[in-house]
Amino acid sequence: MSAALCLRRVRVPAGIALAASLAAAQPYPAKPVRVLVGFPPGAGVDITTRLITPRLAEALGQQFVVDNRAGAAGNIAAELAAKTPPDGYTLLFGSASLAMSQSLYKNLNYNLERDFEPVGLVASAPFILVVHPSLPVKSVKEFVALAKSRPGQLAFASTGSGSTPHLSMEMFKTQAGISLVHISYKGTPQAVIDIMSGQVQVMFANTLSVLPLTRNGRLRALGISGAKRSAAAPEIPTIAEAGMKDFEASTWFGVFSPAGTPPAIVKRLSAEIVRIVQQPDMKERLLAQGADPIGMPAEEFRAYVKAELAKWSKVVQASGAKVE
């Protein structure tokens, strides 16, 4: 048996250290790279991933293969990624739901700070509060009034218990003083289908996924969750403008690698992500999807993730949100 095969049997953490050292000893990437996404095709994070990965493949000379592992607000993909060798050949394209999950779930099989290396922040995107067009409301104030008149009779969709849309709605419910029934989905596409069919009445949906539907009349936009109006949809008022002072909730899309990935690989991936996001045509494509291009490098992204963990921990505690 070869030495390489014997070495692969060494258990973690020795095996992980070996994988990292072997990866560092050869040019990167020497084979295709798998990119795990915790939501189904068509979700905001998936759309962003599929914008960025072809540019990474072009720059680095290897395929970046998107692997959708939907469910549990992105945690299925995150847990899988955390267990892979830190050799740069499995990446996680994650969203803000990863930061929220650390407070919502008591028995996660991974820790975002301990088990991952932040590589680069690609973009952020506010949510649009959308309703079925048949609902007799045209503003946030009207929706709140309707919900108060029908306590517990209106249902909201989310992309999974503990997801960013779920927790954003919990924050909205708390501030508005309303009661809504939560219907959890595995991702945005099915949730949006059910809103369009009238099965559920409202949701916070990623701008990337629903902006075109609000413009063709299949959904109605009531407000946007960002601190300011979106450049991609300036016609939609912020929820804060409707009287819910200081309400702000946005998701973000970033790349992670398993902890222990060689610093040289992280540095190279990070530099390429920043360069790609700064390309004028990529900025235009992200803006067209309702996302704000960022292109934040690894070290800054690490500090950003730490701040997000603290922020959403406070929201979870204040709202009393629970994973169902």
Q: Kindly report the CA angle at 164 between 158 and 166, in degrees rounded to 5?
A: 35
* Higher pLDDT among residues 158 and 246, named by residue: 158
Mean pLDDT of 277-302: 94
Distances (CA, A) of 85 to 81, 271, 289: 9, 22, 33
Rounded to the nearest 10 degrees, how much is the dihedral formed by the CA atoms of 160, 164, 165, 166?
A: 60
224 band by pLDDT with thresholds 50, 70 and 90: very high
Determine the Cα–Cα distance for residues 274 and 192; give it in Å rounded to an integer.
31
- pLDDT of residue 212 exceeding 70, the answer is yes
- Of 65-69, 167-171, 196-200, the poorest mean pLDDT is in 167-171
Domain architecture of the chain: domains with CATH = 3-124+251-319 (3.40.190.150), 126-242 (3.40.190.10)
2 band by pLDDT with thresholds 50, 70 and 90: very low
- pLDDT of residue 296 exceeding 90, the answer is yes
Task: Return the exposure string of 169-204: e unless at least 16 CB atoms fall within 10 Å of the residue's CB, then b.
Answer: bbbbbebbebebebbbbbbbbbbbebbbeeebbbbb
Reported residue count of the chain is 324
Joined together, the tokens standing for residue 38 give: 């915790």
Check residue 231 and give its pLDDT. Answer: 79
Q: How far is CA 54 from the centre of its chain?
A: 19
Mean pLDDT across the chain:
89
- For every residue of 162-179, DSSP letters joined together read TSHHHHHHHHHHHHHT--
Query: Cβ–Cβ contacts within 10 Å for residue 302, how many?
Result: 16
- pLDDT of residue 21 exceeding 80, the answer is no
- pLDDT of residue 3 exceeding 50, the answer is no
The SS3 call for residue 95 is strand
Taking Cα atoms as reference points, which of 129, 123, 97, 95 lies closest to residue 238?
129
Determine the Cα–Cα distance for residues 35 and 175; give it in Å rounded to an integer.
37
